Every structure is written in C-alpha cells, then in structure tokens.
Structure 1
Amino acid sequence: MSTFAPAPGAAPVGRQLLTQAGMEARLMLRNGEQLLIAVVIPVIVLVGAVRGSEKVGLDLGGKPIDVLTPGVLALAVMSTAFTSLAIATGFERRYGVLKRLGTAPLSRATLLGGKVLALLVVEVFQFVVIGGVGLALGWSGPSGVVGVLGVVLAALCGTAAFAALGMLLAGSLRAEATLAAANLVYLLLLAGGAVVLPADQYGGLGDVVRWLPSGALGEAMRTACDGAIAVRDLVVLAAWAVAGSALTARTFKWE
C-alpha cells in the first residue's frame, strides 16, 4: 500500500504566467465598462468617422476606410493597454488585491507579465471585431506579409509603451484620480493625438504629435497597412516603453 507523500511547491513559472494571464483576460472581458472602452467605443468611432468623412468630403489622401481602420486599431490598443489597465490596476491597489498577490508564490514579475499577456489576448479579440467591421465597410486589410508583420510589431510596441504608462499612472495615483486621469488622457489623445487621423491632418502640429505614443502608434499602424514598416515610429514607441517602465519601477506602489 503506497503512502501519500505531499510535495508542496510553486507551479512552474510558465504555468503561473498562463494561469494569471487567463484570469486577467477573463476579468477584462466580463467587465461591461472594459468592453465598452475596448470594443464598443472603437467600433462606434470607426463607423462614425467613415460615414462622417464621406459626408463632409474630408481629404485623407486615400479611401477613408483604408485610412481610418488602422487608426481605430491603434485606438483599440491604446484603450486596452492604457485606459483599461490603468483603471483596473488602480482599483486593485485600492482594494489590496496587488498587496495580497505580491505575497503569493506568484512573483511580481510574473504578475505583471500575466497582465501584459492578457492585454495581448484582449487585443486579438479587438482586432478580430474591428477588422471584421472594417472589412464589411470595404477595408482592404494589411498589404502583404510585410503589412501583417508591421501590424504585429506596431501592436506589440504600442502595447509595451501604453502598458508602461498605464502602470505608471495606476501606481502613483489614488484609484479615483487614476480613473479620472486615464479617461481624460484617453479623450485628449483620441481628439488630438493623431491616433485615428493621420498626423498630417493636424497641420503644423503634425510633426509634434508624431512624437506622442498615440501619434507614433497610429502612424506605425497606417504604414503597416500600406505594406511597409515604420521604423521611426516603432523606435519612438520603444523609447516611450523604456522611459515609462523605468519611471514605473521607481515610483510604483503596491498598496
């Protein structure tokens, strides 16, 4: 007769990461407010912008749907990686969730990695929905293999940049202040950050807004859908990611 021999210990890091990412993704997709920011608002912006540009005769240098869909995909990345992440993390700090998780066998690096991986899962869902709406409206999609690669690189770099900034916000402000600031920044970048509309539509400010993470992401996504890779804009996003991560590491408070 065999004797039960317990073998206590933490699960492998890879399994911890996938489990945490799955839980984070489910929480985001079950939250009505998160779905509103992640999917509903970008789809409304896409349909409204396409219909509006056709009525007012806005010159975007190409078919409105082909210019606006990549911009709305960039907006989707920004809404999830920045706004949703900042708000969710801010309230996790307030209710002590992060403090408790920080004392669990799950390391803090694995916890943050799970959050970022969950963002990518949600973004795939966003791209399927928004891309489907765009195709139904006449979007031609990314141009060739290089275009698809450019979209992936833009999404990854944009996620890194905005996630770092979202964690910076959530880790340094109170939950209520994070909620207000994240939504305010989202609206400001949506209106004047060259994320949906090309930077050249902003006149003399075009050269300035391209240095913002929103402008760099929007330009990188539009360039990718035209079949090229915007190296400059990807470098700008990488710089924002590095700067944001460094500041977050110095200022983030777990409780």
Structure 2
Amino acid sequence: MPTSMQAAPAAANAQGTLKRILLQGRYETMGMISNGEQLVVAVVLPLMALFGLVFTDLLKDVAAKPIDAAAPGVLALCVVSTAFTGQGIATGFDRRYGVLRFLSTTPLGRAGLIYGKVIAVLVVLFLQVVVIGGTALLLGWRPAPAGIGWAIALLVLGAAAFTALGLLVAGTVRPEATLAITNLAWVLLAAVGGILFPSNRAPAYLQPIVDLLPSAALGDSLRAALIAGTTSVAGILILLAWTIIAGFAATRWFKWN
C-alpha cells in the first residue's frame, strides 16, 4: 500500500497532467476560433444551410414546420464541420510541419495531445449549438422537450465518432489529400449522407450504404429526438461502432511525422 509521501507526488503529477491537457485544449480551441476558414465551415455555412432549408420546401414533409426538421440536421452538420473537417485539416497540417511530433515528445504526451483536441472540438461544438440553436429558436424552432437529453448525448457521441474519423484521415494521408477528402466528404454527407435530409431520401441504390453511415445515424437520430422526442437505438449503436472502429484504426495507423 503506498504511503502518504508516495501518494502526494502521484497526485501532483496527475494534477499537472490535467492542467497541461486543459491548456492544450484552450490552445486548440483558440486556434480553431481564430481561423477564418474554419469559422466559415463551422458557423457561416451551417447558418446558410439553416436559412436555405427554412425558406424552401425541401423539408416540408418531414415535420410540421420546416425549421423543426432543419435545425436537427444543421446541428448534425456542425458536428461534421468541427470534428471531422476542421479537426482533420488542422491535424493534417500540424503533422506536416512537425508540430505533432514535437508536442508528442513533451510532458503533454500523445494521449494529452489527443485529449486536448477532443476538448477543443467539444467547446467549439458547444458554441455552434448556441449560435445555431439560438438562431433556430428565433425562427420558431420548438424542439421536443423529451428529446433534448438524447440530442445532447447524440451530439457528444457524434463528435467522438467524427473526431476519430478526422484523426484517422489526418494521420494516414498527406495534408493535401486530407483537405480534399474532408471537404468532399462534408459536401457528400450533407447532400446524400443523411445529415440535412432524412436518409430515406437517398437514391435507392445508395440506401444500404447510407443507412450504415455515421452521418445518417446522427442526422436521423437527432431528427427523431428533437421532432418526436424519441430515441433511435440503432442510430446510437451505429455511432458507437464507428467510434470504436475509427478510434482503433487511428490509434493503430496514425503517423506522427
């Protein structure tokens, strides 16, 4: 059994590690917020999508009011924008310029660096929810109260899945390829991947694939939670599976330099 003198250094070391992770999280957050291109992807484009869906008839048959169907999909789009596209591009170029290799050799360590990025994603996602959710409320959005708790859990789980996917791409291909892959995926997932529109609207030949995508699981589950106040067990399981698989793959094949 460790003595009190032995336990004290261990506790101090744990506190130091936590402090380093929080500082790294703040650094990553400020980097994302201060980057003009990432702000466009994280806030401007989702807002444009929200207004576009509200003032058209594209979602008129999904909910009683277009805003009720648009808001959950745009929140799902925010997750992909920040956790996958934004974090993937930032990590890819940090890897190119040796930032990842340098930070991984400091007391922060590789695990601390990853935790810092996760903190940044969650903080930026919270800000996106405030901006997008507030705008949607002003446009008349009234989410189902029973589904708000499930929606928060889904947003966190979706952030975990797409962060893992973003790190997998950023850690295995060149930065230019990461830029192309994440931006192209953002467009395709938003259009036919079940994010902005229900997955059952995808072309019939794509339906079996779309149903298994994390984007469809997140978008459809958020719509179910915030429109009807229900939860989708299948959607949660799909997101969990993608989180585990992508997390394992990123851990296994991520290249730090």
Q: What TM-score, normalized by structure 2, do the two folds share?
A: 0.90
SS at match of 2:202: helix
- The sequence identity of aligned pairs, in percent, is 45
Out of 16, 40, 44, the residue aligned to residue 40 of structure 1 is: 44
Q: Tell me the equivalent position of 1:181.
A: 181
Say whether 1:162 aligns with 2:162: yes
For structure 2, the residue ranges without an aligned partner over 5 or more in a row are 1-8
Distance of 1:181 and 1:80 partners within structure 2 = 15
SS at match of 1:12: helix
SS at match of 2:56: helix
Say whether 1:73 aligns with 2:75: yes
Out of 12, 18, 23, the residue aligned to residue 14 of structure 1 is: 18
Whichever residue aligns with residue 42 of structure 1, its letter is P
Listed one character per residue, the Cα deviations across residues 10-32 of structure 1 (whole Å, up to 9, x for unaligned) are: 66222112111111111100000
Instruction: Report the alpha carbon displacement of residue 57 of structure 1 after superposing the two structures with TM.
Output: 7.9
Moved more, 78-87 or 195-204: 195-204
Instruction: Report the alpha carbon displacement of residue 212 of structure 1 after superposing the two structures with TM.
Output: 0.5
Out of 230, 234, 240, the residue aligned to residue 242 of structure 2 is: 240
**What stretches of structure 1 move > 2 A for 4+ residues in a row?**
56-62, 200-208
Q: Tell me the equivalent position of 1:100.
A: 102
Aligned length: 244
Q: What TM-score, normalized by structure 1, do the two folds share?
A: 0.91
Whichever residue aligns with residue 131 of structure 1, its letter is G
Once the two structures are superposed, the pairs formed by residues 104-143 of structure 1 within 5 Å of their partners are 104-141=106-143, 143=144
For structure 1, the residue ranges without an aligned partner over 5 or more in a row are 1-6
Whichever residue aligns with residue 109 of structure 1, its letter is A
Listed one character per residue, the Cα deviations across residues 84-121 of structure 1 (whole Å, up to 9, x for unaligned) are: 01000000001110010011000211110110111000
Once the two structures are superposed, the pairs formed by residues 205-244 of structure 1 within 5 Å of their partners are 205-225=206-226, 226-244=228-246
Q: Tell me the equivalent position of 1:4.
A: none
- Please tell me whether the aligned partners of residues 199 and 207 of structure 1 are also in contact (alpha carbons under 8 angstroms): no
Cα pair distance change 1:57/1:182, threshold 3 Å = closer
The root-mean-square deviation of aligned C-alpha atoms, in Å, is 1.7
Q: Tell me the equivalent position of 1:31.
A: 35
Cα pair distance change 1:57/1:108, threshold 3 Å = closer
- Please tell me whether the aligned partners of residues 46 and 69 of structure 1 are also in contact (alpha carbons under 8 angstroms): yes
Listed one character per residue, the Cα deviations across residues 99-157 of structure 1 (whole Å, up to 9, x for unaligned) are: 1001100021111011011100000100000011111111102x22x412111111111
Distance of 1:122 and 1:57 partners within structure 2 = 27
Instruction: Report the alpha carbon displacement of residue 61 of structure 1 after superposing the two structures with TM.
Output: 4.2
Instruction: Report the alpha carbon displacement of residue 223 of structure 1 after superposing the two structures with TM.
Output: 1.5
Instruction: Report the alpha carbon displacement of residue 210 of structure 1 after superposing the two structures with TM.
Output: 2.4
Listed one character per residue, the Cα deviations across residues 31-67 of structure 1 (whole Å, up to 9, x for unaligned) are: 00010000100000010111122xx784224321101
Cα pair distance change 1:254/1:67, threshold 3 Å = same
Distance of 1:250 and 1:32 partners within structure 2 = 32
